[in-house]
Amino acid sequence: MLLAFAIAVYAQQEKEVTRFLGIPVDGSKTEMIKKLQAKGFQKSEIGDLEGEFNGKDVYIFVKTNNNKVYRIVVMDKNQIDETNIKIRFNKLCSQFANNPKYISLQDFTIPESEDISYEMSVNNKRYEAVYCQRLLASDYDKRLVWFMISEGDLPGTYCILLFYDNGYNQANGEDL
């Protein structure tokens, strides 16, 4: 019984961090890249890696703070028009909302009548959706997964950026 208690206490002290493809967003950049390569991603000239994620060709960027991974950025390789980016964004919202691994406090879908290019260029509107991974610990704000629409290189083109954040490793002003 004492052993079971010790294991339970240790498990509570162990921080549960965001996972990307089942891999904890933690450790060194080199370790993370090796783990992602084992999942099939390859070196890239634009990002750290590239490959397929959720049915789309993407670039992967591994971001660190004090040599510890705090964020995985997934960026669509292909830029698409306004109609298709709205469909893609809303499909991601649906996939996250229907996945029991995630929770959200609101619906982020974009209405069909919304003029994204006008809203982004004239009103500086930012289209983003935020979800938290459900794990045993209750500090959901440390395990955010969010995505946003980003303008592409050419006028009228867009892509999705997804962010898998480990809030425990983010900068909190300790270097100031």
Q: Identify whether 2 is part of a domain.
A: no
Q: Identify whether 6 is part of a domain.
A: no
pLDDT in tens, 32-68: 999 999 999 999 999 999 999 999 999 999 999 999 9
Q: Identify whether 8 is part of a domain.
A: no
Domains in the chain: how many in total? 1
Give the pTM.
Answer: 0.89
Q: Identify whether 38 is part of a domain.
A: yes
pLDDT in tens, 103-150: 998 999 999 999 999 999 999 999 999 999 987 666 778 899 999 999
Q: Identify whether 78 is part of a domain.
A: yes
Q: Identify whether 176 is part of a domain.
A: no
Parent domain of 88: 16-165
- How many angstroms separate the CA atoms of 69 and 36, rounded? 13
Buried b (16+ CB within 10 A) or exposed e, 108-127: bbbeeeeebeeebeeeeeeb
Q: Identify whether 9 is part of a domain.
A: no
- How many angstroms separate the CA atoms of 145 and 50, rounded? 19
Cβ contact 16:143 at 8 Å: yes
